[in-house]
Every structure is written in structure tokens, then in C-alpha cells.
Amino acid sequence: MALKTYKPYTPSRRYMSGLDNKDITAKPSVPKLLVKLPVTAGRNNNGRITSRHKEGGAKKLYRLIDFKRDKFGVAGKVQAIEYDPYRNSRIALIAYKDGEKRYILQPEGLKVGDTIEAAEAGLDIVVGNALKLKSIPVGTIIHNIELKPGKGAQLARSAGGFAQLMGREDKYAILRLPSSETRYVLLECMATIGVVGAAEFANRVIGKAGRSRHLGIRPQSRGSAMNPIDHPHGGGEGKSNGHRPPVSPWGQQCKGLKTRKKTKASNRYIITRRKKGVR
């Protein structure tokens, strides 16, 4: 997959880029795997805005993705590669031998006609196969990783995402995550072989305001352009920042302030923190 550019027939079109759609082979064809999600536009159950600068965006249907990969012992064939408006990678429609169809994240290199399978152990280490961490060789590149057995994948799910199995210790596997963080994960958790596709997604250029609106992102004003009553950076003569470090509208520091709770349960599973500057 590659980035595509456009002829600059408008100023905003000159630098705009996006993913090439030549890898998409079909449109959604399984209605039961499509769900209409309610549009909250950043509002809570009282109708009050709790997340600013959000709107409904373009109409879209949610694709039900098989993050658990719990269909053991049944081989599936890749029937189509499809677009998913809710995520930055492509998805693959898998047709299993028993007639069931499911969506999975498309790993890099998985194409129509390939056969994949999920099991606790005993499978070949090929792209798309899913196994428990206890059955995957050390050093393997994996994605779609569970944190709790049977809950479904929570790690390495975005475009170009992957983790590496660094070793095993007692009942835990040692994983190096995309953020360079190293942590323990239970050996009973499932993971999928390979790297999530569409790694070029991070290099795309939005190019124009309208494209952000389609994604559900509303305009945002600088705090320094507001009045003092509206933002701590507001007011003053000329381009003043309020003579204080960058803060949110409610006074919380925006750069360098650690907000992770010290009592977070998963802290004890982290071996080394991510490097500074890595998000």
C-alpha cells in the first residue's frame, strides 16, 4: 500500500495525500457484521459537552471485528480486503469452513485467497495465524494482543503497530510494545502473527479543513486568541501567552505533567517505561 497525491487544482489539494485504495477488493457484503453506533459528538448522557471540538462527522457503519480470535481448529480463507471508517488499517473478511464469516485486522502481507487459523498451539508461524503467547517463539513480531485471557485484543491494533516477544518468565511473557515500553503479559493471552498493515497512514496529510470535518473534528481556537475569562492564556497586549506555562482552559499543565495514577493496577506489570519523546 502506498500514499497517493492529487493534482493541485485548489490550494488545499496541493499537499493533500491519503492511502491508495487499490488494495481494497470489495465493499461490505455481510449485513450482520455492520452496526449503526449512536453519535455522541463529545456529549455525555446529559447532553453536555465533555470532549470539545467533536461532531458527528460523515455517516458510517461500525464493523464488528474479531479481536478475540477464539475460533479454534477451523481454517478460514481471506475472502476480501475492505475499508473500515472507524480505524486506520484495512480489515479482512474471513470465510471459515463451517460457513461463518468474521472480520479481522489485516496484517501486512495478508491477501485474498490466503488461509489462516487460530489455536492454542501447534500452528505454523505465518502472518495472520493466532496463538497463545506460550506457543509463540521468542523474537516473533506480533499484534492484536490480549491483556486478559478471553477479553479480546487491546495492544498493537493500529496501522503499522506491532510488539515483539522478548522472552518468558514464570507464567508471563515479556513484550516490547510500539512505545518502547517493556511489560509482562500472561502466557494464556492470544496474539496474532505479523504487523498491522497500512503503516503509511501516519504519513498522510489532511490538507484541508473540510476533511477534518468529515472525520468529526471541529475547529479549535488558540487560547491566546481568547479573552481572559475564556482561557488562562487570553487577554494581554499583542501575542501574549498569559505569562505562564501552557495550560488547558481549566488550568492543568499541558506539557510534561504526568497524569497516570500511581495506584493503576497494571503498573506492576510494566518492566521499563517508554522512552521520553515516544508517544
- Confirm whether 101 is domain-assigned: yes
Residue 275, pLDDT > 80, answer no
- Confirm whether 256 is domain-assigned: no
Residues in Cβ contact with 90 at an 8 Å cutoff, skipping those fewer than 6 apart: 1, 23, 24, 81, 82, 83, 84, 106, 197, 198
- Confirm whether 279 is domain-assigned: no
DSSP string over 22-64: GG-------GGGEEPPPP-TTB-TTS-BSSSSB---S---EE-
- Confirm whether 51 is domain-assigned: yes
Residue 277, pLDDT > 60, answer no
- Confirm whether 162 is domain-assigned: yes
- Confirm whether 127 is domain-assigned: yes
Burial class (CB in 10 A: 0-12, 13-18, 19+), 90: buried
Tens of pLDDT, residue by residue over 103-119, are 999 999 999 999 999 99
- Confirm whether 91 is domain-assigned: yes
**Statement: the pTM of the whole predicted model exceeds 0.85:** yes
Which helix (H) or strand (E) segment is 209 a member of? helix 209-214
CATH of the domain at 12: 2.40.50.140
- Confirm whether 224 is domain-assigned: no
pLDDT of residue 276: 66
Tens of pLDDT, residue by residue over 208-261, are 999 999 999 999 999 999 999 999 999 988 888 778 889 999 999 988 888 888
Tens of pLDDT, residue by residue over 26-71, are 999 999 999 999 999 999 999 999 999 999 999 999 999 999 999 9
Domain count for the chain, please give it.
Answer: 1
**CA-to-CA separations, 267 to 57, 185, 264, in angstroms, rounded:** 36, 12, 6
Domain of residue 8: give its range.
3-202+261-272
